[in-house]
Chains A and B, each alone.
Chain A
Amino acid sequence: MSKTVTATRQLKATPERVFRAWTDPAEVKRWFKPARLIMNAQVDGLWHSEVEWEGKRWPHYGRFTRLERPRLFEQTWMSEATHGLETLVRVEFEAKGGGTEVRLTHSGLPEDEAENHRKGWEDILSSLDDLR
């Protein structure tokens, strides 16, 4: 069984503006701040990004599967955290209250198994050691 993570935010900008912030590589660099970004925002276009997070560099990659400007886009998303599985990130933009409501749905995330729990736990402990 897989898991889904959602996040929403009310933003003070038009859906068109917010859609551009997510799909124009020059814009994405300014707020997502990837260490590296390659992005071809069209259906079947590929993307690759490397994100610095928790003191580590995480490579992510995938493919755009839907782009319906300025309403939504979808991309597949793979990383170490998905255990190589193809997960799906959908971002929807709805005009609301003079701005835009963003709804992000990240689905298909692998269920944490006991083994992964332990692995994550060990990783955390070893990073705690490194920090000392």
Chain B
Amino acid sequence: MPSRLDQAFAALSDPTRRAIVSRLARRPARVTDVAGRFPMSLNAVSKHLKVLEGAGLIKRRREGREHHLELRSAPLREIARWTLRYERFWNEKLDALEAFLEEED
């Protein structure tokens, strides 16, 4: 069941994308400002931004030719909720149990 939460986790599995989120957590920024912080092409940064947008973690606002980025906190708040974390925790453990029992036969 790939949920919005799964997408958010997948998006945050990459260190560059976590760094982008962390940067935007402090304050919104222009795409060019964000891109300037990473030793990679604007094109490569854009790809990371698309993944974050797809996961609903960031929002892009256009002002003339400039693109402004800001963090959307709802998915991150969801990640932080204990009940959802426990749901993920137990599912991971049941996956591990399944693998363990299958290894055995």
Give how many B residues have a beta carbon under 8 Å from the other chain's beta carbons: 33
Set A5, A13, A32, A124: member contacting B96, Cβ < 8 A: A32
Closest chain A CB from B79 CB (angstroms): 6
Interface assignment of B22: CB less than 8 Å from any CB of chain A: yes
Instruction: Tell me whether A7 and B80 are in contact in the complex, defined as CB-CB below 8 angstroms, given that A12-B105, A21-B101, A30-B100 are known contacts.
Output: no
A84 to B: closest C-beta gap in Å: 13
What band does the interface of chain A fall in when counting residues whose beta carbon is under 8 Å from B?
35 or more
- Contact of A128 with B83 at beta-carbon distance under 8 Å, contacts A21-B97, A30-B100 already known: no
Q: How many angstroms between the C-alpha atoms of A110 and B19 in the bound complex?
A: 31
Indicate whether A128 sits within 8 Å of B86 (C-beta atoms), given known contacts A102-B94, A121-B77: no
Determine the chain B residues whose CB is within 8 A of the CB of A110 once the complex forms.
82
Cβ of A57: which chain B residues have Cβ within 8 Å of it? none
CB–CB A11/B98 < 8 A: yes
Give which listed residue, B82, B86, B94, B105, contacts A116 with CB less than 8 A. B82
Kindly state whether residue A112 has any CB partner on chain B within 8 Å. Answer: yes
In the complex, the answer to whether A123 meets B80 with C-beta atoms within 8 Å is: yes
Please tell me if B65 contacts chain A, counting CB pairs below 8 Å. no
Given contacts A7-B90, A106-B90, A120-B79, 4 further A-B contacts (CB under 8 A): A13-B101, A31-B100, A119-B80, A125-B76
Between-chain CB contacts (< 8 Å), 22 pairs = A11-B97, A18-B97, A21-B100, A31-B97, A31-B99, A31-B100, A32-B96, A32-B97, A33-B96, A53-B89, A82-B82, A102-B97, A104-B90, A106-B90, A109-B86, A110-B82, A117-B81, A120-B77, A125-B22, A128-B21, A132-B18, A132-B22
